[in-house]
A = this chain, B = another copy of it.
């Protein structure tokens, strides 16, 4: 197995590209995919301030490292979810990465700052924990970005993540979600721009990137996500990819290039009629935003809304 670029010994093959790479050219390949994602979708403009949502896993740490490598100077934001040892190890990885490189890492802790954690929210809402977790992340990533004047929130969603979410949205034809699923969600009043610079890289690639760059990351999957739909969709997509290498990329890139714009009206309709949440002031279509309703439901002990 030889590097496609220099014909030296390869360390990794990527079947969907029908190519293998040596260490240096693999790292370049990753940088190139991110550079292209940013350029194609105008994700980050000159002079803009970027914050990376850092979980401590391979994707978000690879993203932070790749953005630094491309000349950006993003800060990090870590959200403590309170999921036992998993969260402890995740926080440790995020802090170590930032500390070793002298980077700024914002930290928000659900329990300390908002009086609940994800296991508690799941118990109180009698729903899968992933719902409360996603809601908390979306709200707080944006709230911190707005509070600290960041223009852009970058998240580590990779090609496998995007393919799984897309498959779920398509299987139920969630047309409003399809209209919002895109590598870039533009800024609107009260919302920073959301970007996914890793959407062209698979999770095998982000893991290899971290290994080759010597980045210590939390290798465990979230224990609360076990058996969730998203992971089921990933299995299905892996089976399709095995049969037909490139299937996942064709699915996601084809959507972005040729189908997403068919659904933007569906998403737009939901965004009309935004007002300030009566509790926290965030933009919402209800009187009280979903995050504050979640907090109320889990009997938040925090004194002041963020």
Contacts and interface: CB of A to CB of B under 8 A. Distances in A.
B175 A250 contact: no
Interface bin, chain A: 20 to 34
A229 B239 CA distance: 12
Contact of A243 (B232, B239, B257, B263): B232
Contact of A236 (B175, B236, B250): B236
A240 B171 contact: yes
A170 interface: yes
A256 to B, nearest CB: 9
Contacts of A247: 171
A264 to B, nearest CB: 10
Interface string A222-238: 00000001001001100
A2 B43 CA distance: 58
Contacts of A235: 239
A258 B251 CA distance: 20
A175 B244 CA distance: 20
A175 B240 contact: no
Contacts of A251: 170-173
Contact of A259 (B173, B229, B239): B173
A299 B40 CA distance: 48
Contacts of A170: 170, 251
Contacts of A262: 175, 262-263
A255 interface: yes
Nearest to A256: B173
A64 B192 CA distance: 58
A9 interface: no
Interface in A174-222: 175
Nearest to A254: B173
Contacts of A229: 244
Contacts of A232: 240, 243
